[in-house]
Amino acid sequence: MATVLAKPSSATRLCTLCAGLKTRRCGTCKGWVLEDTGSPVTAVYDPVEYSQKHALDAFIAGIRPTRIQPLTGGMSTLMTVWTPAALTADCRYLLPHECAAERAETTSSDPE
């Protein structure tokens, strides 16, 4: 994913809808990320909402999407998607943050 320089308005909106979701800068690439601190294991996501099609593409690529599940009263919760059959068109999805800086550091240009 590309580094997002300005804080996305969708990230601020999501933080008001999902308890425990906060925005912060990635310590490595300095891009904006969403951090879910409301569960036992902290998860970090790109600050972009994706459609069912993009979530399915990510799932096929081995990346597990997280559904933004609407609740009554206007709030939402985050739910990990365990099978492609659980992806629905009426929901939006978050994908884990894959830091471009970390990928660059682990890529070697030296032939082995």
What's the gap between Cα 19 and its chain centre? Answer: 15
Distance between CA atoms of 109 and 86, rounded to whole angstroms? 39
Angle at the Cα of 26 (from 71 to 52), degrees rounded to 5?
40
Is residue 37 a part of any domain in this protein? Answer: yes
Is residue 19 a part of any domain in this protein? Answer: yes
- Residues 6+ away with beta carbon under 8 Å from 47: 4, 7, 8, 10, 11, 14, 23, 32, 33, 34
* Residue predicted with more confidence, 71 or 102: 71
Is residue 111 a part of any domain in this protein? Answer: no
Is residue 36 a part of any domain in this protein? Answer: yes
Q: Which residue range forms the structural domain that includes residue 99?
A: 9-103
The pLDDT value given to residue 54: 92
Is residue 81 a part of any domain in this protein? Answer: yes
Residue that has been written with the tokens 């425990």 in this structure:
20
Distance between CA atoms of 99 and 20, rounded to whole angstroms? 22
- Residues 6+ away with beta carbon under 8 Å from 6: 32
In this prediction, what percent of the chain has a pLDDT beyond 90? 33
pLDDT tens across 45-70, in order? 999 899 999 999 999 999 999 999 88
pLDDT at 34 over 90: yes
Write down how long the chain is.
Answer: 112
Reduce the DSSP state of residue 72 to 3 states and report it: coil
Domain count, the chain: 1
Is residue 2 a part of any domain in this protein? Answer: no
Is residue 80 a part of any domain in this protein? Answer: yes
The pLDDT value given to residue 23: 92
The DSSP code for 67 is E
